[in-house]
Each structure stands twice: as C-alpha cells, then as structure tokens.
C-alpha cells in the first residue's frame, strides 16, 4: 500500500503515520523528520533547509523532491510506504506522478485551526528517532524520554505560536490545493481528527480498511 497523508501542520499526520507503519510494517517517510535530521547534523542539505524551516516557510521543491526520490528507492520501501508531509505543493505531486509512483489512497486528516494551535504548544518530539508525543494527549512513560528509542524529547523550534500561524497560512496557500488535485483521481478520503489519538486512529484504520 502506498499512502499519502495530507493535513495542516499539527493535524496528526506523524502520529497516525507511526500507527499505520507499526500495523502494516511499511515505513513512515516524513520529509519533515528527514530535514530536521539534516539540520541537526549540519549537513549541506540541512544548512540549505534550516532558515526556511525555522520561519515556517517551505523548503524548495527541488531539494525536497530530491530527498524523497532517494528515500523511496531504498529497499524497505519496496512493499509500500506512508508519505507524511509530502507532497506539499502541486509541483511535488506532479513530480511524484512523473516518478511513476502509484498511490492507493490519499488520507486527509482535518482539524480546525484553533485546535491545532493548542496541540502544537504541547507537542514534544524525540531528538533521536523523530517520534511525536504530546504532554497531555500522548505523554511519554518517563518525562522527557522517548518510549521508542530512549532519546531525549524536546520542543520543535517551529512550534512557537507565531511560526505555527505562518505554517497554517502556508498550508492554506500552497498545500490545500492538493485536495482538489487528488479528489479528481478519486483517491482522496477525509477523516476528522478527534480529541483523543486513539479515536482518530480508529477512524483512520476503518477508512483505510485496516483491521484494528
């Protein structure tokens, strides 16, 4: 199964991608996580991406399409993958089509903007593996320590309230048009993000036809 998760920043793409990945045994491919890793390691790619990411803007299509293309060519993606945060512009969606990638479903997670802002302030992410938590809705077993890998959980720089507002406006302008793009292919399905992570997961699994 090749899946795309679509949704505003903080809608829960990463959280649901982790759950689907664990259930189906196919990788979660998060361009955001890959870019954050590059920034942390100070690679050439990271240096190019850093300023855009910290201000809430998008990284250039050229850079992101390049890293995505390399990633889906890796052996673990041969039996399917979950794209979390890609494509984010019509140009990226067209590039994916040009690569000959067949997409089975595009799952949009819809959450109203006012809920998003509350969620971002409580989000914590693992510095090591990128896993996503929330101080209230999805706490780690031990405060500040990732359940999955034991790494340190921290707040993302782009989760500052003013940067979140900028990211939401970029989403409306650049990414929301993808709903129309995929609606035309008949592959778009929408789930409303619920108050509890487990309730959203249930809806997501039902919509994708995955046994809970």
User: Catalytic annotation on 119?
Assistant: no
Q: Is 158 left (phi over 0), alpha (psi -120 to 50) or beta?
A: alpha
Stretch that binds Mg ion, among 10-18, 122-130, 170-178, 186-194 (CB under 5 A): 10-18
Candidates 23, 48, 105, 156; catalytic one: 156
Compute the distance between CA of residue 96 and CA of residue 114 in angstroms, rounded to an integer: 32
Alpha-carbon distance of 142 to 150, in angstroms, equals 9
Size of the site for ligand AP5 (CB under 6 A): 38
Q: Does the annotation count 48 as an active-site position? A: no
By CB under 6 A, the residues from 138 to 177 that bind ligand AP5 are: 138, 158, 167
Shortest gap between Cβ of 184 and ligand AP5 (angstroms)?
20
Q: Would you state the structure tokens that stand for residue 163, as one six-digit string?
A: 């940067």
Which entry of Mg ion, ligand AP5, none binds 59, CB below 5 to 8 A by partner kind? ligand AP5
CB of 184 to Mg ion, least distance (A): 26
Contact with ligand AP5 (CB under 6 A): which of 6, 19, 86, 126? 86
Q: Smallest distance, Å, CB 209 to ligand AP5?
A: 20
Beta-sheet pairing, 188-192 with 153-154: unpaired
Told to judge if 115 belongs to the known catalytic residues of this protein, a careful annotator would answer no
The active-site residue, picked from 71, 88, 119, 124, is 88
Q: Spell out the residues 6+ positions from residue 91 whose beta carbon is closer than 8 angstroms to its own.
A: 61
Range in contact with ligand AP5 (rule: CB under 6 A) among 21-29, 119-127, 182-190, 204-212: 119-127
Neighbours of 6 (CB within 10 A): 27
CA distance 44 to 141: 35
C-beta separation of 124 from 135 below 8 A:
yes
- C-alpha dist (Å) from residue 160 to 120, 134, 167: 8, 15, 11
Where along the sequence are the contacts to Mg ion (CB under 5 A)? Answer: 14
Positions marked catalytic: 13, 88, 123, 156, 167
Contact residues for ligand AP5 (CB under 6 A)?
Answer: 7, 9-15, 31-32, 35, 52-53, 56-59, 64, 85-86, 88, 92, 119, 122-123, 132-134, 137-138, 158, 167, 193-197, 200
């Amino acid at each position: 199964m090749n899946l795309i998760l679509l949704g505003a920043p903080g809608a829960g793409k990463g959280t649901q991608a982790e759950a689907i990945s664990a259930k189906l045994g196919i990788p979660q491919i998060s361009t955001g996580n890959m870019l954050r890793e590059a920034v942390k390691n100070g690679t050439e790619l990271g240096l190019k991406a850093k300023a855009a990411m910290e201000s809430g803007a998008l990284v250039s299509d050229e850079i992101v399409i390049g890293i995505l293309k390399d990633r889906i060519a890796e052996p673990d993606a041969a039996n399917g993958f979950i794209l979390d945060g890609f494509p984010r512009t019509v140009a990226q969606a067209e590039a994916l089509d040009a690569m000959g990638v067949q997409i089975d479903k595009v799952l949009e997670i819809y959450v109203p903007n006012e809920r998003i802002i509350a969620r971002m302030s409580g989000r914590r992410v693992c510095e090591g593996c990128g896993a996503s938590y929330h101080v209230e809705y999805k706490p780690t077993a031990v405060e500040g320590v990732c359940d999955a890998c034991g790494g340190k959980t921290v707040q993302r720089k782009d989760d500052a309230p003013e940067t979140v507002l900028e990211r939401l406006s970029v989403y409306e302008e650049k990414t929301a048009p993808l709903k129309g793009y995929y609606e035309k292919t008949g592959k778009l399905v929408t789930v409303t993000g619920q108050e509890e992570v487990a309730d959203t997961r249930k809806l997501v699994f039902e919509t994708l036809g995955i046994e809970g």
